[in-house]
Amino acid sequence: MFKRTSIVNKIHVTDVSLNSVFEIGDSWSIKPRANALAVQREFERFYGDEGDFDAYPIFTMPLPKALINEHINFTRVNDSSSIYVNKIDITSVSASGVLLIGSTKVIDAESRVKHIRQLQGDPNSDIGPSNNVNAKA
């Protein structure tokens, strides 16, 4: 079996970030991992060294994987030797995203995002914080 060649005439990518991959060419395996704490604050105050991934189980918990026990006789017949794309325009590849022009064996990507929102609340109000949220919503 001969491999297929990917032909792309023109590609424009604006942004590749947070452990993403943009690869031109063949590879064996691509396994990007991205962990992120997405913090939103009512006021602009951010220290550069904040956050500890170990404090949140979401970053360490094992993820369920699809197990394929059945044996599959896989036959691939490539009638055409190439895949042709004229033009690709991508704004952003982010958080373990994979953009590959070429062939590989395994792609195994994982991204974990923990959202935290911090609001100041109303110091003059005597209603509880949760009621306060409803009043704002």
Of 52 and 126, nearer to other proteins (C-beta) is 52
- For the chain, the C-alpha Rg in angstroms (whole number) is 23
Residue span 2-41 as binding mask against other proteins, x where in contact by CB under 8 A, dash where not? -xx-x-x-----------x-----x-----x-x--x-x-x
d(CA 20, CA 107): 12
CB of 72 to other proteins, least distance (A): 5
CB of 13 to other proteins, least distance (A): 9
What single-letter amino acid sits at 29? S
Residue 126, classed as helix, strand or coil, is: coil
Q: Does 60 bind other proteins (CB under 8 A)?
A: no
CB of 126 to other proteins, least distance (A): 14
Q: CB-based contacts of 81: which residues, under 8 Å, 6+ apart?
A: 2, 4, 5
